[in-house]
């Protein structure tokens, strides 16, 4: 079986922890936006830092570009999921 690429792997990881945060917020009826956004921020920073380090090394330049692209995808889709999780538990009194 072939291993998933960097982009697919990190997108699936992001979907996994986003689903956990959204389901905790839905079942426990608590706000989980701040912890979700914090984990998302750490994930993005890790991908961007790893990508920059790998881009600066000539042997791993291609993998570095994939890490940077994965960081961008995680940032865009992940912030949309944070927004969705906030809307899911938004109560107007």
* 2-41 residue pLDDT tens: 777 999 999 999 999 999 988 888 888 777 888 889 999 9
Q: Where are the domains of the chain?
A: 6-88
Rounded distance, CA 68 to CA 63, Å? 9
N-terminal to C-terminal alpha carbon distance within the chain: 52
The answer on pLDDT for 49 being more than 80 is yes
For the cut 70, the answer to whether the pLDDT of residue 44 exceeds it is yes
Beta-carbon contacts of 32 under 8 Å, excluding residues fewer than 6 positions away, are: 21, 22, 24, 25, 85, 89
Rounded Cα gap, residues 74 and 67, in angstroms? 10
Q: Which residue has the higher pLDDT, 61 or 27?
A: 61
pLDDT at residue 66 in the model: 94
> pLDDT of 72-91, one tens digit each?
999 999 988 888 877 776 65
């Amino acid at each position: 079986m072939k291993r998933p690429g960097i982009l697919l792997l990190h997108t699936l990881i992001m979907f996994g922890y986003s689903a956990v945060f959204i389901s905790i917020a839905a079942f426990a009826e608590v706000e989980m936006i701040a912890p979700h956004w914090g984990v998302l921020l750490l994930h993005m920073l890790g991908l961007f830092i790893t990508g920059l380090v790998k881009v600066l090394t000539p042997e791993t330049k291609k993998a570095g570009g994939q890490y940077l692209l994965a960081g961008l995808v995680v940032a865009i889709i992940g912030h949309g999921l944070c927004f969705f999780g906030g809307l899911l538990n938004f109560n107007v009194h």
